[in-house]
Every structure is written in structure tokens, then in C-alpha cells.
Structure 1
Amino acid sequence: MEEARKMDKQAIRTRYLGIRNGLSYSEREQKSREIWKLLKEEEVFQKAQAVLVYMDYRSEVMTTGLVEELLSEGEKKVYAPKVDGMNILFYEITSMEDLQPGYQGIREPVEKEERLYDSKMAGKDGIILVPGAVFDRQRSRMGYGKGFYDRFLSKNPGLFSAALAFECQIARKIPVEPHDIKPDMIVTEKERIR
């Protein structure tokens, strides 16, 4: 039963990643900008002093332009993830030069202990942007199978989480596990799902 469930999840993940991969670069760029617009209209985003971003990889909702905007505005602290074994840690970045190729070629911040995100010190004034392969209308999220974001969110329960997804990544219902953590909100180019 457990093996069949894993195979079902992998088949669903593969199917939706295939759909997402079918979007052209220009489609992804346009839809990503629409997602940023809806995200930035949210009060929780406007009030956030810290934004924990993911650095886009392959066909994910693009975040590079959003990160560049946030850095140039200089009003919020921006943190990017770095893989550390089976966990992710977030480090503050002040420019795109603070990033270098890391885990699977994904841009990661240069590790500096004094720039490490600490939820106890940061308070509850932050928001984390979460990637994923497929989501549903109950806000369930299926990532890429490593559990990085589920583990991070379980250790930072007060941090508001917003998953960024293209509308084509929203399924009717996806299987979930007890350790899966739902984002507080999913933002697509068409809507916000709460």
C-alpha cells in the first residue's frame, strides 16, 4: 500500500511537472509577473519585514525578478535558501552577487553565520515563498519529494507561507502525508487560494 501511494504521488508529480514544463519561457515570465502582482497586494506581504524566497529552478514560477525588485527597493530583508544535508537554511542576501551555484545548480547564498535567518530573533513579521510541483484547492502541496520545506515550516510555525504556482499546477485533489504542511495561501496568476 505504501509503495503504491509513493508511485501514485510520483505519477502525479511527473504529470504536473510535464504540464508546467510545457509553458514557454515568455508564458512563465508573464504569468510570474501576474503572480508577483497578486502577492504584493496581500497585506501580509506588505507588512512583512523579512521575505524568505526560493531561487527559481527550471520551470518554476520565476522569482529572480521579484528578488531584484525587493533588493533595489531595500525596504525588506531578503533571505534565500541553502541546502544543508536534509534541511534548508535561509541566509540574508543584499545583492544578487551574494548567490552562487549550489545544490543541483540552484543559486544559493554564500554561507555567513551572521546572516542566518533565526525565527526567534526575526519575530512573526516574515513571509516565506514556497515552490512546489502540484497543489490542490485545499492548499495541499506536493514538492519534489525531499521534504525540505515541510521540515523548515514545521520548525517555523509562526512564519506565514505563500506557495507560488501557475494555475496549471492546481489539481482537484492530491494525496497528502501526515508530515505534509499546507501553505497558508497559494498564489497563481489568476487567484489566491486560502
Structure 2
Amino acid sequence: MNLKKEYRKKGKELLKHKSSEEVSQLHSRLFLSSAWKQATCIAMTISMPHEIDTYRLIEQAWEENKRVCVPKSFPDNKELRFYELTDFAQLEETFFQLKEPNTRVSNEVKREEIDVILVPGLMFDLNGYRVGYGGGYYDRYLASSSALTLSICLDEQLIDHVPRNTYDVKVDQVLTPQREIYT
């Protein structure tokens, strides 16, 4: 088994055992961050049950009158596009049981409109590199984005070094319940 696959497995296992207290601390740290406070348009995924909850983040963003956009994957060309989400009813279940925006009722958001992208992952390192789910969707998108990039994770998901390739794009910040790392 290669190292990235090993880290994917480890990250998924760690997330299974997350506590609501850890997630609450992480949400609070994010809400107090300058990235969150200054953003008017935030991009983030719709969390799966085993992941850190983003529904609460979306609701908080709406309460603060921030625009929220969520990704839609296009597997044919491995492209990622973001669409504005104003109501959870705009979501539909797609491949791998992902919840993504229904493009018939959601408007696409241009790259330059997004202030902050919350980049998902399973393991992260101190330099801002991450092990994602293996599709490369985010790395391709981030390569041409000027938005501030931020990942949130449990303290146990943060390690010294994750394996990386030339096409991997690091995030600007990593937040855990206990730490704030700028890369």
C-alpha cells in the first residue's frame, strides 16, 4: 500500500472518532479567524457523515450574510466548479453519495468572487500540504485561484510531512481545535 493510501485510511479512521467537543472548538476557532471575519464569499464542501460538519459552518455564514458556494464535480474532465448555495434544498445526491448543488437551480460563482476556500482533506502537514480523496479536483482548481485557502482538521490529522507530488497545491492556513498554522 502506498503512503498516500495509508494516510487516507488513517484520516478516515481518525474522523470516525471525532468528538462533538473537538468539532465545536474547531468551528469556534474558524469563526474567530481573520479569514472568516473578512470573507464575504466562502467556498466549502458539503460534509459527509464521517467528516467534520460543514452544515453548521454554512448556517453560520448565512447568519452573517456571507455568500456560500459549494463544489460540483465533473468527473468526465475531473473539473470542479462552485455554485452559490442559498438553501439546502438546492442539493442533490450524486456519485459516491456526495451532496452537490443542482446546477439547474444554482448559479455558478466565478473564481475571482471567492474570498476563502475551505479545502477538504484527510491528513495535513505543517507546510500546508494535504492528503485528499485522490481525485486531484481541488489541486487543479486551486492552481488557478487567488482565494485564501484554509483547511480545518482534528489535531490528530496534522503530521510533520505528507507525501506530495509536483501538482499538489498547499493551503495557506491549517486550523485545528488547538492550533493555527500559517504556511
* TM-score, scaled to structure 2: 0.90
Q: Which has the higher helix share?
A: 1
Q: 2:122 matched to 1:166?
A: no
8 Å Cα contact 1:83-1:103 kept in structure 2:
no
The structural deviation recorded for 1:10 is 1.1
Q: Which amino acid aligns with 1:62?
A: D
| Contact residue 43 and residue 70 of structure 2 kept, 8 A | yes
**What displacement does 1:143 show?**
0.5
Which one of 102, 123, 129 corresponds to residue 134 of structure 1? 123
Task: Give SS of 1:155's match.
Answer: coil
CA contact (8 A) 1:54 1:81 kept: yes
Size of the aligned set, in residue pairs, is 180
Matched residues in 1 for 2:56 and 2:129: separation? 26
Q: TM-score, normalised by structure 1?
A: 0.86
Q: CA RMSD in A?
A: 1.8
* 1:74 CA drift (Å): 5.1
Aligned-partner Cα distance in 2 for 1:176–1:169: 16
How far 1:82 sits from its partner (Å)?
Answer: 1.0
Structure-1 separation of matches of 2:125 and 2:156? 11
Q: Once the 2 structures are TM-superposed, how far is the Cα of residue 91 of structure 1 from its aligned partner? A: 0.3
Structure 2 gaps of 5+ residues are none
Write the distance in 1 (CA, Å) between the matches of 2:39 and 2:151: 16
Q: Which has the larger radius of gyration?
A: 1
* Structure 1 segment 120-159 matched on structure 2, within 5 A: 120=112, 122=113, 126-156=115-145, 158-159=146-147
Q: Give distance in 2, aligned partners of 1:113 and 1:96.
A: 11
Within-5 A mapping of 1:3-18: 7-18=2-13
Instruction: Answer yes or no: is the 8 Å Cα contact 1:52–1:128 preserved in 2.
Output: yes
Residues 5-40 of structure 1: CA distance to partner in whole angstroms, max 9, x if unpaired? x7122122222322322x15xx1x332221121111
Instruction: Tell me which of 16, 20, 36 is aligned to 2:15.
Output: 20
Rounded Cα–Cα distance in structure 1 between residues aligned with 2:92 and 2:22 = 26
Q: Does residue 1:102 correspond to 2:90, yes or no?
A: no
- Report sequence identity in percent: 24
Give the counterpart letter for 2:44 in structure 1.
V
| Structure 1 runs not aligned, ≥5 long | 1-5
Residue number among 67, 72, 92 corresponding to 2:58 in the alignment = 67
- The answer to which of 56-65 and 177-186 deviates more is 56-65
Residue 3 of structure 1: aligned partner: none
Q: CA deviation at 1:67?
A: 0.9
- Per-residue deviation, residues 60-93 of structure 1 (Å, max 9, x unmatched): 211111112222x151111011111212111001
